[in-house]
Chains A and B, each alone.
Chain A
Amino acid sequence: NAGVTQTPKFRVLKTGQSMTLLCAQDMNHEYMYWYRQDPGMGLRLIHYSVGEGTTAKGEVPDGYNVSRLKKQNFLLGLESAAPSQTSVYFCASSYSSGQPQHFGDGTRLSIL
């Protein structure tokens, strides 16, 4: 049982480049989330989804887009990467809202 799988695990981008982070869960969870983790800041919610075909903004959505075309997948896109987006990105999923979330191992992204 893989749980929540994030790809890639590491990536270095140049300013202005675009990329997509993939999150896949095999627990049939309805809710999925993208967070970023920065030193001393805890985790901050970027976007979330309450079900297939739905997405919504979190605390820090600017510069990111998401899509949930399939229930098991939640994609995070950076259209034009900026150095301020250097961070560790975590995907999480949960069976229902407010319940414990299951996290992936993270994607470490550096923007030069």
Chain B
Amino acid sequence: AQSVTQLGSHVSVSEGALVLLRCNYSSSVPPYLFWYVQYPNQGLQLLLKYTTGATLVKGINGFEAEFKKSETSFHLTKPSAHMSDAAEYFCAVSDQIKGSNYKLTFGKGTLLTVNP
């Protein structure tokens, strides 16, 4: 079974600063990788996904992530933080359950705070 590690349960940045949220997964087999964002009292929204092809993936709201197989990492970045980016971010990896069925295994989340 896969495991997902998000380094830092809480990250605080200033408005306009670089956002870097770290995610490492356990499998040596390239999985499907996802970043989700959760705003208070809401469900999870897909930010971006990596399935195959280009390792630099662009998502919504100016976020992007790079799949690095050698480092088993999928870190999320945004060049300039905005106040509206304050939310909790979850990294997830597809994990085989049985046969051709997969589930998502989630990291424990990183709460991003943006200071004015």
Distance in angstroms from B89 CB to nearest chain A CB is 11
| A residues neighboring B (CB under 8 Å) | 4, 33, 40-45, 48, 50, 56, 58, 90, 92, 97-106
Q: Which 4 A-B pairs have the closest CB atoms?
A: A98-B102, A103-B43, A42-B106, A98-B94
Q: Which has the most chain B C-beta neighbours within 10 Å: A56, A58, A92, A101?
A: A101
A50, B103: Cβ atoms closer than 8 Å: no
B100, A97: Cβ atoms closer than 8 Å: yes
Q: Chain B at the A interface: mostly helix, strand, loop or mixed? A: strand
CA distance A12 to B100 in the complex (A): 38
CB neighbours of B109 from chain A (8 A): 40, 42
- Tell me if B55 is interfacial: C-beta within 8 Å of chain A: no
B106, A90: Cβ atoms closer than 8 Å: no
CB neighbours of A4 from chain B (8 A): 43
Contact partner, A97, options B34, B42, B102, B107, Cβ 8 Å: B102
- Tell me if B22 is interfacial: C-beta within 8 Å of chain A: no
CB neighbours of B100 from chain A (8 A): 97
A105, B42: Cβ atoms closer than 8 Å: yes
B97, A90: Cβ atoms closer than 8 Å: no
- Tell me if B45 is interfacial: C-beta within 8 Å of chain A: yes
Contact indicator per residue, chain B 38-67, by CB within 8 Å of chain A (1) or not (0): 000111111001000000000000000000
